[in-house]
Structure 1
Amino acid sequence: MKIIKQGGLKDICKVIHSSLEGEMSWNKQYLIRFGCDAASILLKDNPQSFRFAIESGGIIDEIIFLLIRLPIGNINQFNLVSLCHIVNSSNYEQIKILVEKGILKTMNRTLNSGNELVQEYSVLIFKVITFAIGELEGEGKPHPLLKEMENDGTLTKLIEIFQNDKYNNKDINLQSACSIGYLYKATPIPIEFGSSIIIHLKDYIIKPNNQ
């Protein structure tokens, strides 16, 4: 925390932001990766860092800007690791703040990546967020993000990812199934894909040695 309190995350933001100015080069790509890796190290298993990370113009804003600015083919998994650490160490109210900052729109974009690792991190982030926001809404109430994610195409993308049987890492299918299931909290899930999702999740739950 000492490095963060001394402005370490702000310095990382400056490195990333300056690297996005002008034409992209190999050197700038290296600096972006260096910045993302450094932020990931500072944020991992560090829930106390949240208030610094969400500052206006802070690392969350910078990573969101980065993921929107980069061509989709240039986005790599290391660009998402910091967000993943933040989401995983946040409580429900903090995740709501991340949603208000626009993380869902950014993750919607990264779902378009052809990079399996990028999709893996993206669906994991969606799973955590959809669960948290659903829990905040309370038992027996429809998920507040369902309509939004239907309208902006995110739900369609998650369904397509769930139905894609070409992934080497089958956790991608599982995480997307969980996200879809959470979105249909207290709402009938359409039969066109609902049955297969329910079967998939049941198989996962009863699978031997499942953790």
Structure 2
Amino acid sequence: MRKIKEEGEGKSPEERLKIIEQGGLKEICKVIHEQLEGELNQNKQYIIQLGCEAASIILKENDDSFPFAIEEGGIIDEIIYLLIKLPIENIKDIHIDPLANIINILTFKQKRVLQQIGIMKPLKKLLSSENENILNWTSQSIYKICYAVGYLEGGGKPNPLREKMERDGTVEQLFGIIQGDKYKDKYIRGFAACSVGVLYKSAAIPTQFYPAVILIKEQALGADPTLSQQSIKALEFVTEFN
């Protein structure tokens, strides 16, 4: 895997896609999968980290890599399994880097595919992380996927993810983050609020979640351009019903 990493470093997306087409990503997946069998000792976790690093390098800003990433037994399947299997305290930034690089390049339809193959389960788990970098990425990823799925439903139609995420407790977790004041990173609370907003597209927001809407409105008028822009988008969904 070091060889794949070295071959990919500093290369163009086209050159890195060639590495993927020649089986580099499959080789990484095979190694990660082998390490996930049985007990995850320290040596296995080290090898997995090397695999995640190599995968992250060849996937970064590589728009044409998605069909390879979503193959059965591909890197997305392996990272999902990894994040589910690892204890939450052992999950590091490097473990999510391949997914981060994939999500950054996806269209709305591709984000919906990612949701359909099971990405929301590990994302829910990651909401319990004490690592603010991971929480930042997780809250933004949940928002991006929920927004994409809701947008594709069209105007006046509810977000199909809402009821499932209510049932499995994800909405409550998001709201718990919104109510918390322990985070130094404002994007954690900010995108958790936006996630709640887009989930209640064309649906009545329960009164206990009104603080999320208040925060979204504050962010929409705030000075941070990222939070302002995304909060305005979330409000557009909220106002379809409320």
Category of TM-score, reference length = shorter chain: over 0.9
Residues 52-61 or 103-112, more deviating: 103-112
Paired position in structure 1 for 2:64: 48
Contact map agreement 1:131 1:182 (CA 8 A) in 2: yes
Q: Give the counterpart letter for 2:28 in structure 1.
A: I
Does 1:155 find its partner at 2:171? yes
* Aligned counterpart, 2:221: 206
Q: For 1:101 and 1:161, how far apart are their aligned partners in 2?
A: 26
Per-residue CA distance 1:66-106 (angstroms, 9 max, x = gap): 11111122111221121122122111211121111111112
Q: Which moved more, 1:201-210 or 1:71-80?
A: 201-210
The 1:45–1:75 alpha-carbon spacing in structure 2 relative to 1, beyond 3 Å, is same
Aligned mate of 2:113, from 85, 97, 101: 97
CA distance in 1, matches of 2:223, 2:36: 47
Which residues of 2 match residues 36-75 of structure 1 at below 5 A?
36-75=52-91
Residue in structure 2 matching 1:121, options 129, 137, 148: 137
1:182 to 185, 198, 203: 198
Percent identity over the alignment is 49
Corresponding residue number in structure 1 for 2:180: 164
Moved over 3 A (4+): none
d(CA) in 2 for partners of 1:146, 1:208: 29
Name the CA distance, whole Å, in 1 between partners of 2:137 and 2:54.
Answer: 18
* Displacement after TM superposition at 1:109 (Å): 1.5
Take 1:129 and 1:73, find their aligned partners in 2: how far apart are those partners?
A: 24
Counterparts of 1:162 and 1:12, CA distance in 2: 37
Q: Using structure 2 for the length normalisation, give the TM-score.
A: 0.82
AA aligned to 2:38 is: G
Alpha-carbon distance in 1 for matches of 2:42, 2:178: 34
2:168 partner letter: D
Distance 1:114 1:46 in 2: 30
**Residues of 2 paired with 1:128 and 1:201: CA distance?**
15
Equivalent in 23, 37, 51 of residue 21 of structure 1: 37
Alignment RMSD: 1.4
Q: Provide TM-score, normalisation by structure 1.
A: 0.94
Residue number among 204, 208, 221 corresponding to 1:192 in the alignment: 208
- State the structure with more CA Rg: 2
Matched, 1:87 2:103: yes
Q: 1-side partners of 2:93 and 2:224: how far apart?
A: 28
- Aligned-residue offset at 1:180: 0.5
Q: Shift in Å at residue 154 of structure 1?
A: 0.7
Give the superposition deviation at 1:127. Answer: 0.7
Q: State the secondary structure of the residue aligned to 1:167.
A: coil
The number of aligned residues is 210
> 3-state SS of the aligned residue for 2:225?
coil
Query: What's the offset of the Cα at 1:206?
Result: 2.0
Shift of 1:23: 3.0
**Comparing both chains, which one has the higher relative contact order based on Cα–Cα distances under 8 Å and sequence gaps of 6 or more?**
1
CA shift for structure 1 position 118: 2.0
**Secondary structure in 1 aligned to 2:73?**
coil
Paired residue secondary structure (1:147) = helix
Partner amino acid, structure 2, of 1:33: Q
> Aligned-pair distance for 1:31?
1.2
Q: Which amino acid aligns with 1:191?
A: T
2: CA distance, partners of 1:162 / 1:208? 19
